[in-house]
Amino acid sequence: MKIPYLSFIFGLILCCNTVFAQTNSAHNPIIYADVPDMSMIRVGDTYYMSSTTMHMCPGVPIMKSKDLVNWQLVNYASNSLGDTDELNLVNGKSNYGRGSWASSLRFYDGFYYVETYAQTTNKTYIYKTKDIEKGPWTVTDFTPGFHDCSLVFDDGHAYLITGNGKLNIIELKEDLTGVKEGGINQVLIENASKPAGEKIMIGAEGSQLFKVKDKYYLFNIVWPRGGMRTVVVHRADNLLGPWVGRIALQDQGVAQGGIIDTPDGRWVAYLFQDHGSVGRIPYLVPMKWVDGWPVIGVDGKVSETLDLPASKGLIPGIVNNDEFKRKKGEPALPLVWQWNHNPVNSLWSVTDRKGWLRLKTGRIDTLFVKSRNTLTQRTFGPQCSGSTLIDVSGMKEGDFAGLTAFQRKFGQVGVKIVNGQKFVFMVSNKTDKPTELESVPLLQNKVYLKIGCNFREKVDIANFFFSLNGKTWTKIGGPLKMEYTLMEHFMGYRFGLFNYASKNPGGFADFDYFHIANQISEK
């Protein structure tokens, strides 16, 4: 009896060790939230990453990590792209689906640089700082706006590599204030999509250039017609070519990004995947060098686990709770928050009522997506919830305030004032026509609101709740089938706190807190 018993114990220990190893290693996706168009560098033992947040303000988020897995927001390169009707969400104009697109992050000669461009302004922006975590940033901008560039410093010169299918290289002035007159401005690769075939739906774009052991490697995304997003890499001995290309990865649509090494000499590719309504989510894929070429994946496949530390979760580094209590010297809003478009700073406060966020109305709006000062955070997968307590005693006739699952096809749970009466309501914009699914009389000034988002296996369902006491929750309206829309918003769903007036400006709504969790509870 002893031998089988010992065998059983040994097997149990082995099983436990296997489980322990699995739970203490990184898993893909590395960030289950909308962090697309990553550009990444390593300075010493610290990694930095920039990403895209489109029409949100501030923009071009900067994140920091020590292990490539656990990331923390530390800064934004851009406070605003400018002062235009589109960026300010006025006169019927908007910046949805545009704003800042794919950025390029670099460290050169003691300075950090971030390049991006905006279709709305048709400008290219280059941000520069000595301290990427604290700033300050200086910015130069110029026309035209060059699409999805890679900023390149080589042999004392600066360039942009840009294009779609046909890729061009453009030399910049020494001070990076514009295109250098008489400098290099030519086709770099005539048809960078060619390694993926002749039938291409989206040509090679999202350029990212790397120099490794005196060779140049240019990474692009290509989308063959009838196929999936594909990584293509070109190699050259000289920056201006000639270039030779091949497919580097074609699996699960994981594509667009680049490569980075660890201090101990390992390499990984950082890429992202379109993943339904949660957005475009980052993956890390093992990489090795074979005959001077980067070989991405394990037998050409994206691995589920990685030889990297386990994730500690996205809270508090990427998203976080906020009690709206501020100590002296603290910023008014933590970095996890972004406004929908440029905010009106006179119409929000965390000091008017201590421990509360106050959103004031300053004009009349008939559509939620056209209203200003919606304050947002990312949703995340595989499931999450956002909740708040709102005091509506300062709202006026025709006001709407509450919590939203925000994309073009948004859902809302909140309070409206109609004929002097308060109602808890739920609105769905699934059909692109905002439709109230339910309205319930409210006989008190404070009400708890919650939204639960399920992204498991791309179910993409949001449910909406309210509570009169913060303990017992009631579903309201109906489920929202969330949908990622490309050119209209071009980002994953976000939680948002909102307040707008449809009749009488000057009212306000107070939010006691915002709580975010990795589970959905109806209790």
Model confidence pLDDT, tens digit, residues 23-42: 579 999 999 999 999 999 99
> Cα torsion for 456, 457, 459, 462, to the nearest 10°?
20
Nearest to 249 by CA among 226, 236, 232, 224: 232
Count the alpha carbons within 13 Å of 467 in the hemisphere toward its beta carbon.
Answer: 15
361-392 confidence digits (pLDDT tens): 999 999 999 999 999 999 999 999 999 999 99
Q: Which CATH architecture best describes the domain 338-517?
A: Sandwich (2.60)
Task: Provide the 8-state DSSP code for 341.
Answer: S
Alpha helices in 117-214 (DSSP H): none
Give me the pLDDT at residue 63, please.
Answer: 98
What CA–CA distance (Å, rounded) separates 137 from 274?
31
CATH 2.60.120.200 residue window(s) in the chain: 338-517
Give me the pLDDT at residue 24, please.
Answer: 79
What CA–CA distance (Å, rounded) separates 452 from 91?
34
523 residues of the chain, pLDDT tens digit each: 344 443 433 444 334 333 333 457 999 999 999 999 999 999 999 999 999 999 999 999 999 999 999 999 999 999 999 999 999 999 999 999 999 999 999 999 999 999 999 999 999 999 999 999 999 999 999 999 999 999 999 999 999 999 999 999 999 999 999 999 999 999 999 999 999 999 999 999 999 999 999 999 999 999 999 999 999 999 999 999 999 999 999 999 999 999 999 999 999 999 999 999 999 999 999 999 999 999 999 999 999 999 999 999 999 999 999 999 999 999 999 999 999 999 999 999 999 999 999 999 999 999 999 999 999 999 999 999 999 999 999 999 999 999 999 999 999 999 999 999 999 999 999 999 999 999 999 999 999 999 999 999 999 999 999 999 999 999 999 999 999 998 789 999 999 999 999 999 999 999 999 999 999 876 5
Q: Cα angle at 475 between 471 and 481, to 5 degrees?
A: 135
Task: Provide the 8-state DSSP code for 311.
Answer: P
* Residue 98: C-alpha distances to residues 95, 178, 211, 493 (Å): 6, 22, 31, 16
Q: Cα angle at 233 between 227 and 234, to 5 degrees?
A: 130
**CATH code reported for the domain at 42-301:** 2.115.10.20
* Residue 438: C-alpha distances to residues 401, 413, 422, 424, 465 (Å): 15, 10, 13, 8, 11
Give me the pLDDT at residue 23, please.
Answer: 53
Instruction: Show the tokens assigned to 183.
Output: 């400098």
CATH 2.115.10.20 residue window(s) in the chain: 42-301
Q: Are 397 and 391 in contact (CB under 8 A)?
A: no
Give me the pLDDT at residue 520, please.
Answer: 86
Characterize the bridge pairing of strands 215-224 and 200-212: antiparallel
> Nearest 5°: phi and psi at 167?
-105, 140
Nearest to 275 by CA among 498, 35, 96, 465: 35
Give me the pLDDT at residue 9, please.
Answer: 38
Q: Are 208 and 219 in contact (CB under 8 A)?
A: yes
Q: Are 335 and 329 in contact (CB under 8 A)?
A: no
Give me the pLDDT at residue 60, please.
Answer: 97
Residue 84 in 3-state DSSP?
Answer: coil
What CA–CA distance (Å, rounded) separates 477 from 451?
12
Confidence (pTM) = 0.93
Q: What would you measure as the largest C-alpha separation in the chain, in angstroms? A: 87
